C-alpha cells in the first residue's frame, strides 16, 4: 500500500473513532437481547444436536428462517442454487447492513457436552467450529435491530444472509456471484473462538479440487501385469506434491486426503481419488501453485499408465481488511465486555482445560477483550473473504470455547453444547447489533468504510470467483 493510501486510511480511521460507540442501554438492544437469551440458547442447542453437514442443513436452515419470518422479515429461500441458502430482509429505505449466519457442522467428529472425550454413538458429525452458535447469534442480532429500527424510526434495512456449507463448500461465493450483496453498504460477521477480539481481517486464499484416477482392475496376485492401479496414480501424485513443498513459498499450505483407494488388497483398484486444498495469503500465488499440482497429477497418470481428471470443488479469496468498520466493531465489543463463567462453568472449564494440549491462553482470559488486532495474521480460509472484496466487511470473535481450545476439536464441540458456548454467543449478538446500530446512525462512517474499501481494492480491480462458472457442489460431502 502506498504512503498516500495509508494517509487516506488513517484519516478515515480518525473519523470512525470520533463517533462514540452505541451503548446497549441507549437503544434498548441490550434489554431486548437479554430477554431472548433462553430462547436463543434453545435454538442453538437444537442445531447443535442436529449437527447437519454442508448443503444438508435442511432442519437448521428452516429453523432460522422460521425465527426471522415470525419477526416480520421477508424471507427468500433456496437462493443462488442452494436449497439451504436464504436471504431475510426487513426495512424499506436507508442504508443496507448485512449480517451472516452459518449453520453447518463438520463430518468425522462427534462429542457429548462433557469435559472428557466422549463420542456420541451413531453420530457422524459435530459442531466443532461453533456454527450453531454463529447462525443463532446473527439471527438474534438481526431481530433485535429490526425491533430497534421500528421503535426509533431510524431509516435502514437489515439483511440476514443464511449461508450454507462454509466448511469447504464455499456457499457465500455463490451468493456473491448471484449478485445478492450488490446493494449492501456494509457486512458484519462473527465467529466462535476462545478469545474476544476484533482484528482487521487476514485469511488464506484457497483452491480445492478432487483428483480422480482411472486404471484397470485385475487380480493383484494372479494377473498383476493385466492391471493398472488407480491407487498408484494417487500415491505417485501425492509423492510428487510432497516433494514440491520444498519449492513453494513458506507461507503456502497444501493438504490432501485419499477419499477412495480401493476396496480389497487382492483387487487392483480401477478407481482412486484424492481431495486437495492449496492455500496462500495471495490468490495469485494459489493459482500458480495449483497449476503445478495439476502437472503433478498429469505426470502421475503418465507414469502409472492411468488417466486422471479433476473436479474443482471450490475456492475463496483472501480477506480484504476494512479498518474503519473493524475499529467501530471493536468499540462495540469493548462496551459489551467479555464472557463471565458461573461456578458450574468454571468447574467444566477446569476439567476441559486439563485435556487441552499446549494451551497458550490462561483460564480467565475469556473475561477479557483483547487489544485491537490481536492475532491478526490468518492461517485459515473463509468464504467471507469473497464478500469482503465486494462489500466493506468486518468481523469479530468471541470466547464460546474454553481458552486454548483449537477449532475443529472435540473440546470445541463439547463447550459449544454448554452455557459456556451460549455466553460467548450472547456477547457476539450484542456486539453485532450495537455495531450495526452505530452504522445506521453514522452515515459518515459508512462513507469512510466505502472509501477505504475502494482504496484497498484499487481502481482496476475486477472480482473473479475462483470457482468460475461451476454450480454449487451440493454433493461435496457425499
Q: Is residue 467 in a domain?
A: no
Dump strand ranges (E) for 369-474. Answer: 393-399
**pLDDT for 360:** 80
Q: Mark residue 300 as left, alpha or beta (left: phi above 0; alpha: psi -120 to 50; beta: remaining).
A: alpha
For residue 278, the cross-strand partners are: 207, 254
Tell whether 82 and 128 lie within a shared domain: yes
User: Do the Cβ atoms of 453 and 148 come closer than 8 Å?
Assistant: no
Q: What is the pLDDT of residues 87-135, one digit of tens each?
A: 999 998 999 999 999 999 999 999 999 999 999 999 999 999 999 999 9
Tell whether 216 and 196 lie within a shared domain: no
Q: Is residue 298 in a domain?
A: yes
Q: What is the pLDDT of residues 170-219, one digit of tens each?
A: 999 999 999 999 999 999 999 999 999 999 878 999 999 999 999 999 99
User: Do the Cβ atoms of 227 and 268 come closer than 8 Å?
Assistant: yes
Q: Is residue 473 in a domain?
A: no
Tell whether 71 and 219 lie within a shared domain: no
CATH, residue 150: 3.40.630.10
Tell whether 191 and 265 lie within a shared domain: no
Q: Is residue 139 in a domain?
A: yes
Record the pTM.
Answer: 0.92
Q: How far apart are CA 31 and CA 152, in angstroms?
A: 15
| Secondary element (H or E) of residue 25 | helix 24-27
Tell whether 226 and 196 lie within a shared domain: no
DSSP 89-134: EE-SSS-EEEEEE---BEET----SSSS--PPTT--EE-TT-HHHH
User: Is residue 344 pLDDT above 90, yes or no?
Assistant: yes
Q: Is residue 478 in a domain?
A: no
Domain limit, last residue, from 316, 339, 360: 316
Its sign, for the CA torsion 458, 463, 467, 468, is: negative
**pLDDT for 188:** 98
Tell whether 189 and 224 lie within a shared domain: no
Mean pLDDT for the stretch of residues 265-292:
97
**pLDDT for 5:** 55
Core vs surface per residue 357-366: b (16+ CB within 10 A) or e: eebebebebb
The whole domain housing 277 covers: 205-316
Task: End-to-end CA distance of the chain: give it in Å, rounded.
Answer: 43
Grid cell at residue 421: 458456548
Domain limit, last residue, from 262, 282, 316: 316
Grid cell at residue 282: 495471495
Domain limit, last residue, from 272, 289, 316: 316
Tell whether 139 and 223 lie within a shared domain: no
Q: What is the pLDDT of residues 216-273, one digit of tens each?
A: 999 999 999 999 999 999 999 999 999 999 999 999 999 999 999 999 999 999 999 9
Q: Is residue 471 in a domain?
A: no
Tell whether 50 and 104 lie within a shared domain: yes
Tell whether 66 and 35 lie within a shared domain: yes
Q: How far apart are CA 425 and CA 421, in angstroms?
A: 6
Number of domains in the chain: 2
Tell whether 193 and 224 lie within a shared domain: no
Its sign, for the CA torsion 418, 419, 422, 427, is: negative
Tell whether 121 and 52 lie within a shared domain: yes
User: Do the Cβ atoms of 393 and 181 come closer than 8 Å?
Assistant: no
Share of the chain above pLDDT 90, in %: 90
CATH, residue 250: 3.30.70.360
Amino acid at each position: 500500500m502506498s504512503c498516500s493510501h495509508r494517509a487516506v486510511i488513517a484519516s478515515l480511521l480518525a473519523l470512525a473513532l470520533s463517533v462514540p460507540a452505541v451503548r446497549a442501554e441507549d437503544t434498548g438492544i441490550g434489554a431486548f437481547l437479554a430477554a431472548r437469551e433462553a430462547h436463543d440458547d434453545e435454538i442453538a442447542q437444537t442445531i447443535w444436536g442436529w449437527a447437519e453437514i454442508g448443503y444438508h442443513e435442511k432442519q437448521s436452515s428452516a429453523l432460522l428462517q422460521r425465527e426471522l419470518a415470525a419477526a416480520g422479515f421477508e424471507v427468500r429461500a433456496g437462493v443462488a442454487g442452494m436449497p439451504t441458502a436464504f436471504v431475510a430482509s426487513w426495512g424499506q429505505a436507508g442504508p443496507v447492513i448485512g449480517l451472516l449466519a452459518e449453520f453447518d457442522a463438520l463430518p468425522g467428529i462427534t462429542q457429548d457436552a462433557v469435559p472428557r472425550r466422549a463420542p456420541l454413538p451413531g453420530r457422524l458429525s459435530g459442531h466443532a467450529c461453533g456454527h450453531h452458535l454463529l447462525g443463532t447469534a446473527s439471527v438474534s442480532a438481526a431481530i433485535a435491530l429490526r425491533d430497534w429500527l421500528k421503535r426509533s424510526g431510524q431509516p435502514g434495512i437489515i439483511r440476514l444472509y443464511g449461508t450454507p456449507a462454509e466448511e469447504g463448500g464455499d456457499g457465500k461465493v455463490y451468493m456473491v456471484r448471484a449478485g445478492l450483496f450488490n446493494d449492501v453498504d456494509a457486512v458484519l460477521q462473527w465467529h466462535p473462538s476462545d478469545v474476544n477480539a476484533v482484528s482487521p481481517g487476514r485469511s488464506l486464499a484457497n483452491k480445492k479440487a478432487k483428483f480422480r484416477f482411472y486404471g484397470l482392475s485385475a487380480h493383484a496376485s494372479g494377473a498383476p501385469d493385466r492391471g493398472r492401479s488407480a491407487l498408484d496414480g494417487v500415491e505417485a501424485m501425492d509423492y510428487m506434491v510432497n516433494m514440491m513443498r520444498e519449492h513453494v513459498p513458506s507461507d503456502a499450505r497444501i493438504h490432501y486426503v485419499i477419499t477412495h483407494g480401493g476396496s480389497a488388497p487382492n483387487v487392483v483398484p480401477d478407481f482412486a481419488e484424492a481431495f486437495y486444498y492449496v492455500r496462500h495469503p495471495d490468490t495469485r500465488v494459489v493459482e500458480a501453485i495449483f497449476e503445478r499440482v495439476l502437472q503433478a497429477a498429469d505426470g502421475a497418470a503418465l507414469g502409472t499408465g492411468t488417466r486422471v481428471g479433476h473436479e474443482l470443488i471450490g475456492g475463496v479469496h483472501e480477506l480484504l481488511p476494512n479498518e474503519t468498520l473493524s475499529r467501530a466493531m471493536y468499540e462495540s465489543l469493548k462496551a459489551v465486555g467479555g464472557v463471565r463463567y458461573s461456578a458450574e462453568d468454571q468447574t467444566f472449564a477446569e476439567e476441559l482445560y486439563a485435556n487441552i494440549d499446549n494451551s497458550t491462553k490462561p483460564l480467565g482470559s475469556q473475561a477479557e477483550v483483547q487489544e485491537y488486532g490481536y492475532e491478526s495474521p490468518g492461517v485459515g480460509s473463509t468464504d467471507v473473504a469473497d464478500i469482503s472484496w465486494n462489500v466493506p466487511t468486518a468481523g469479530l470473535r468471541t470466547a464460546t470455547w474454553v481458552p486454548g481450545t483449537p477449532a475443529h476439536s472435540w473440546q470445541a464441540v463439547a463447550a459449544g453444547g454448554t452455557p459456556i458456548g451460549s455466553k460467548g454467543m450472547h456477547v457476539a449478538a450484542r456486539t453485532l447489533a450495537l455495531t450495526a446500530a452505530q452504522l445506521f446512525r453514522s452515515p459518515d462512517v459508512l462513507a469512510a468504510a466505502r472509501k477505504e474499501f475502494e482504496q484497498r481494492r484499487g481502481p482496476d480491480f475486477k472480482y473473479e470467483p475462483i470457482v468460475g462458472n461451476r454450480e454449487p457442489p451440493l454433493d461435496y460431502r457425499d
